[in-house]
Chain A
Amino acid sequence: MGVSSLEPADGSTFLLQAHDLQMSYGPRRALRGLSFSLGAGRILGFLGPNGAGKTTAIRILTTVLEPTAGHFEVGGIRSDEPDRIRGRIGVLPENLGFPRHMTGLEYLTYFGELFGLAQSAARERAIGLLDDVGLAQRGTSRIGSYSHGMRQRLGIARALVNEPLVIFLDEPTLGLDPRGQQELLALIRRVASERGASIVLCSHSLPEIEGICDDVVILNLGQVVAAGTVAEVIDQAGSEVLHVRVDPASAERARDALLAVVGVADASVSDALTGRVVIRLGEAADGPPDRPGIRDAVLAALVAAEIPVISFGYTGNRLQDLFLQVTDEAIS
C-alpha cells in the first residue's frame, strides 16, 4: 500500500502532501516511502507500533531531520525551503523539555519573537494563548512548578504561537491522567475547529485517534499499511462486529432470536456467565450492507423477545482490531 490519497470531502486544497519520504540511519531504513495528503481543517491520526517510524516521519515533516529521499509540501511550500516551512507549522514534539526557570509567559513571548514578532506583539499573543489553553492564572509562574498536563498545554500554546497552517502533535496525552487526557483532547478539537488548521496527531491510544480524528495513517516498519478516513480504514477490518450483553439467563434465547434477523451472519454466546453475545454482520450481496438498519433490527429483535438488554454497541475497539490485524500481517 504505497500511495494513498485523502481527498478532502469539500474539495478544498491539501495543506500537507508527502511524496515518497524515505529515511535511513546507516543500514537501518526507518522510513520506506511515506506518502499521504492532508486537507485543510482535518485531523489526521498517525498510528503505528513502537519503532514504526512515526517520530522519524514527524521530524522529517517538521524539518528537524532531512529525508534521505522524497519531499513534501506545506501550504504549497516545498521541503527544500525549510525556513519558510517552519514559519507555517506548529509542533509539539514528543518528550519536549522546558526551561524550568522561565515563566510560561516569558517562554511564549520568547518563541513569539523567534517567529519574528515584535516584543510587545509577542507578549500580547502569549497572553492570548495562555488564556486559550487555560493557563492564564499561571502565566507568571515558573514552568518548573507546572504539572505535566500544564506543560503539555503550554507546549500546545507554543505550537500555536505562529498561527500555523499545520500542527503536529507527537504523543500529546502520553503520561497524562484520564482527566488530563480528556481536557487535552478537547483542547485539540477546539483548536482544529476554531483555527481551521490541519492537525497531525501521533498517538498510541487508538480510542483517542478513533474519537478525535477524521483521517488515519497506520505505519509499520517504516511503511504505510493502512490509510484513509477513520470509517474507511475501519471498514478494511472486514465484517462488522456487534457486542451485546443480556441477562445471563436469557443468553441462549437471545442468540437464537438474533440468528433469525436478516443481515446477521453469525451470533454466538461468548461468555454465558455474564451474558455476552457476539454478532457478526454479514455482507449484503448488492453493495454495502445497510448497517444502521441491521443494528436497529438487532435491537428490535431483542426487545420483541422480551430479553433484558444490559449493554449494546461496539464494545471492542474496531480500530484496534484493524491495527492489530495490519501490523501482524506486516510482521509475519
Chain B
Amino acid sequence: MSESIQELGALQPGARVRTATRVRPTWWVVMANEIHGLWVGGKAPILLLLYSIVLGAHAFVTAYNVELSLMPPNEMVYETVKTAISVGIFLGMMIGADAISGERERGTLEALLLTPTRRRQVVIGKFLAALTPWPVAFVLTIPYLAVLGQGHEVLLPAIAWGAVLGTVLTVAYTGTGLLVSLWSNNNRTSYLVSLGIYILILVPSQLPGRAQTGAAGQFLQQVNPLAALNHFLSKILVNNRTFEEFGTWLLSPIIFATVVMVLLVGVSAPRLRLEAGRLARADGVIGRAFGRLGGLFVLVAALVIPAASFASSTTGTVAPSSQVASDGVPVEISVDLEYQTVNTGDAVFFDTVVTNPTDVASAPLIVAMNIINLDQEGDVVDPEDWSPERTQYVDRLDPGQWAILSWRVNAILDGDYIVYMVVMPQPAAADATSQAVASSGIHLTVLPFTRLNPGGVMPLVLGAPTVLAIGTGLILSIRRRETGGGGRPLKYLRLPVVLGGVVLSLVVLSGFAVMSQPPSAGIPGQSGVRTEDDGSTTMTVETLTGAEDFAYAQTAYEVPAGAPLTVELYNRTDPADEIGHNWVLVEPGQEAAVLASGLEAGDDLDWLDIDAPGMIAHVPLIEGGESNAVTFDPPPPGTYTFICTFPEHHAGGMIGTLTVVEP
C-alpha cells in the first residue's frame, strides 16, 4: 500500500507548500469544484459548442439571405449581440436550474448538507460557477461581431454594452434558475419551470414593433427586462441614441437582477434543505401542483402572453372621447433618430411619437413622410420609391395620449438626404383646412453600395464549432485517459491550461476570420490592383455570383496616375442566369447622362453608347462566366465612378469608385 500512497503523493508537486496552511472559504471551495465539474466534466464545453452553432447559423443566415443582407452592419451587430444574450442567459439559467435539484436527484446533496458549511456559501459557490460559461460565450461572440460589423464603428460599443448588459441579465437568469432549483425536488420540475419563465419573458420581447405600441404595450416592453434591454441596445447601437436618453430602459433588467439576488442569497439560500421544502413536501397535493406549475407556465407563456401583448397594442390609440375639438388642436410629433449613415440598399427604421399635449381630444390624424436630397445637383427623390408606406393614419388622440408609428426607408441612391415627418389633423369639413406640424429631420447619409460577402463568415461559422468540438473532445479524452483507472495516470491537466487553450484558439480563429474577410466588404485600398513588370497597372474587377446581386465584389480601387491601366472584368454570375455586366468609367457628375444614353442605345448596342461624352473607358458587356479587359491611360488624379449600364443594375447598387493618385 505504501507504494500506491507514494504514487498518489507524487501527483502533487511540492510547490504546493505555500498554500499548505491556508483554508479556502467554503464558497470558493464549492465554486472551484463546480467549475471543475462544469468544464472538465464536459457540460460547459458542450453547451458552448451548441451556442457557437446557434450563433454561426444566425450569422450565416444574416449574411447569406438576400433580404437580410440588406441590413446595415450596425443592425447586424445589434442582432448578433441580441442573439448572444438570449442564448447566453439560457445557458446560465439551465446550469442554475440543475445546480440544486440535480444534486437532489442524483443523491449527492445529502453529503453536501452533512458538512458544517454555511448553506448560503454553498449556494453562492454554485451560483458563481454557473456564471462562468457566459464570459467565454461572449468572447466567442466577438469574432462574429467583428466579421458582421465590417469595420463599422459600432463594434466597440456593441462589445462593451453586450458584455455589461449580458452580464446583468446572466446574473438575473442564472439566479432565477438556481432559485427554481432550490425549491424543486427534481430536475424535470426545475427545467420546466425555468423554461416557462424564459419563454414568458422571451416571447413578448420578440414581438414586432407594431405590436408593442400604445401605452400598455410600451409599459409591458419596459417592464420586460429582456425586451427593455433589447430596446435600449437597438437605440444605442442602431439609432445613434445616447445613454442619457434611454438609460431608464435599463431599470427593469437591473431591478430584475437585484430582486433575484436578494431572493436567492438573502431569503432562499439559508433555507436550503434536503427536500425541496414545505412548498413541495408539506402536502402531496401542493407538491403535485408545484410539479405541474411548470407545464402550466409553458402553456401560459405560449398562449396568453402574445395574445395579451397584441391586444394591448391598440389601447394606446383608441377610446374616442365625447369632447372632440373641431380642428387646430396642436399635436406634437417627434422621431427617435437624429442621423444615420447607411449603404445603398440598406433599410433605415425609426419610430415617430405623436402626442396630444392639450386638454382636449384631437381630430383624427395623418402622419406623412418626406425625403429631400440636400445636394442641389443630385437627383430629385421620389419618396414612393424610398418607402413602402409613406402615410399612416391615427385615430383621434385623447388629452395626454400618444401613439407610436414605425417607419421604414429604403436607401435607394447614395447621397445626402434629410427625412422629416409631418402630422396633420383631418380637416373637419370640405371648407376647412388644418395646420401641419413637422418633426425634426433625420439626416441620412447614404454611401455607395457595399456588401458583405457571405463567404466571409463561413470560416467562422464552420471554424468556431470545429475548434470547440476539438477542444471539448480533447478535454474529455485527456480526462478519460487520466482517470480511466488501471492505467498510469498522466500529469494532471490543469483547468487554466484548458481555458487558456480555448481562449488562445479563439483569438487565432478570430484573427483568421477577420483576415479572411474578402476585400469586398468595402474597405478601400490597393487590393485588386497589381503593378506589372513593364510598370503598367492591372486591376481585377469581379462581379458577385447571384442572379440578383447587382454589385461588384470590390467597390473601391486606387491606382497610380501616369501608367497604363488594364481593367480585367470577370462576370462571376451563372451563365444559366443570362446576366450581362459591363464596366464603365465615367467623368464626375456624368453618371446619369451615361446611363440615359445607354438606355437609349438599347439591347442591340449592349446598353452602352460608346460615344457618350461623359465616358472615360469601358469593358463591354459580357455574359456569366466570361471575362474581358480594356487598357487605357488613367485620367488625372481624382475620384471617378464606375458603373454597370445594364438597365436597373446601377440602381440595384452596381457602382464603385476608382481613385487615381499621384504615383
The residues of A with any CB-CB pair to B shorter than 8 Å are: 25-26, 59, 62-65, 83-84, 86-87, 89, 91, 93, 95-99, 101-103, 105-106, 110-111, 113-121, 123, 127-128, 130-131, 136-142, 145, 158
Contact assessment for B115 and A111 in the assembled complex, using a CB-CB cutoff below 8 Å: yes
Asked whether B1 is an interface residue with its Cβ less than 8 Å from the other chain, the reply is: yes
Contact assessment for B4 and A64 in the assembled complex, using a CB-CB cutoff below 8 Å: no
Contact assessment for A127 and B489 in the assembled complex, using a CB-CB cutoff below 8 Å: no
Contact assessment for A86 and B115 in the assembled complex, using a CB-CB cutoff below 8 Å: yes
User: Contacts A84-B116, A93-B114, A142-B483; is A119 near B107 (CB within 8 Å)?
Assistant: no
Contact assessment for A120 and B4 in the assembled complex, using a CB-CB cutoff below 8 Å: no
* Complex interface: chain A residues within 8 A of B106 (CB): 97, 99
User: Contacts A111-B115, A136-B5, A137-B4; is A102 near B37 (CB within 8 Å)?
Assistant: yes
Asked whether B641 is an interface residue with its Cβ less than 8 Å from the other chain, the reply is: no
Of B22-30, B54-62, B157-165, the one with at least 4 CB within 8 A of chain A: B22-30
State in angstroms the CA–CA spacing of A103 and B118 once bound together.
25
Contact assessment for B110 and A127 in the assembled complex, using a CB-CB cutoff below 8 Å: no
User: Contacts A127-B8, A142-B485; is A158 near B19 (CB within 8 Å)?
Assistant: no
Contact assessment for B19 and A119 in the assembled complex, using a CB-CB cutoff below 8 Å: yes
Contact assessment for A65 and B41 in the assembled complex, using a CB-CB cutoff below 8 Å: no
* Closest residue on chain B to residue A128 by CB atoms: B5
Asked whether B508 is an interface residue with its Cβ less than 8 Å from the other chain, the reply is: no
Contact assessment for A96 and B19 in the assembled complex, using a CB-CB cutoff below 8 Å: no
State in angstroms the CA–CA spacing of A63 and B114 once bound together.
7
11 contacts between A and B (CB under 8 A): A26-B283, A64-B110, A64-B114, A96-B110, A96-B111, A105-B8, A113-B24, A114-B26, A119-B22, A131-B4, A142-B485
State in angstroms the CA–CA spacing of A103 and B493 once bound together.
13
Which of A83, A86, A87, A123 contacts B12 (CB under 8 A)?
Answer: A123
Contact assessment for B274 and A121 in the assembled complex, using a CB-CB cutoff below 8 Å: no
Beyond the given A64-B114, A95-B107, A118-B19, please list 12 additional residue pairs across the A-B interface where CB-CB is below 8 A: A83-B118, A96-B111, A97-B108, A101-B37, A114-B112, A114-B117, A118-B20, A120-B12, A120-B17, A140-B482, A140-B489, A145-B485
Contact assessment for B37 and A130 in the assembled complex, using a CB-CB cutoff below 8 Å: no
* Closest residue on chain A to residue B106 by CB atoms: A97
Choose among A96, A131, A140 the residue with the greatest number of B CB atoms under 10 Å from its CB.
Answer: A140
Asked whether B21 is an interface residue with its Cβ less than 8 Å from the other chain, the reply is: yes
Contact assessment for A86 and B116 in the assembled complex, using a CB-CB cutoff below 8 Å: yes
5 smallest CB-CB distances across A and B, nearest first, come from A97-B107, A141-B485, A136-B4, A101-B41, A114-B115
User: Contacts A120-B20, A131-B1, A139-B8; is A93 near B111 (CB within 8 Å)?
Assistant: yes
Choose among B23, B42, B274 the residue with the greatest number of A CB atoms under 10 Å from its CB.
Answer: B23
Contact assessment for A115 and B16 in the assembled complex, using a CB-CB cutoff below 8 Å: no
Contact assessment for A64 and B108 in the assembled complex, using a CB-CB cutoff below 8 Å: no
Quick one: which of B106-133 are within 8 Å of A by CB?
Answer: 106-108, 110-118
State in angstroms the CA–CA spacing of A128 and B111 once bound together.
20
Contact assessment for B16 and A120 in the assembled complex, using a CB-CB cutoff below 8 Å: yes
> From residue A97, how far is it (CB to closest CB) to chain B in Å?
3
Asked whether B282 is an interface residue with its Cβ less than 8 Å from the other chain, the reply is: yes
State in angstroms the CA–CA spacing of A208 and B9 once bound together.
36
Contact assessment for B274 and A64 in the assembled complex, using a CB-CB cutoff below 8 Å: yes
> From residue A259, how far is it (CB to closest CB) to chain B in Å?
56
Contact assessment for B21 and A93 in the assembled complex, using a CB-CB cutoff below 8 Å: no
User: Contacts A59-B274, A136-B4; is A117 near B23 (CB within 8 Å)?
Assistant: yes
* Complex interface: chain A residues within 8 A of B37 (CB): 99, 101-102
> From residue B22, how far is it (CB to closest CB) to chain A in Å?
6
Contact assessment for A131 and B107 in the assembled complex, using a CB-CB cutoff below 8 Å: no
* Closest residue on chain A to residue B18 by CB atoms: A120
Which of A99, A116, A121 contacts B116 (CB under 8 A)?
Answer: A116
Q: Mark B249-281, 1 if CB is under 8 A from A, else 0.
A: 000000000000000000000000010000001
Contact assessment for B19 and A120 in the assembled complex, using a CB-CB cutoff below 8 Å: yes
Asked whether B400 is an interface residue with its Cβ less than 8 Å from the other chain, the reply is: no
> From residue A157, how far is it (CB to closest CB) to chain B in Å?
12
> From residue B61, how far is it (CB to closest CB) to chain A in Å?
36
State in angstroms the CA–CA spacing of A117 and B281 once bound together.
35
Asked whether B11 is an interface residue with its Cβ less than 8 Å from the other chain, the reply is: yes
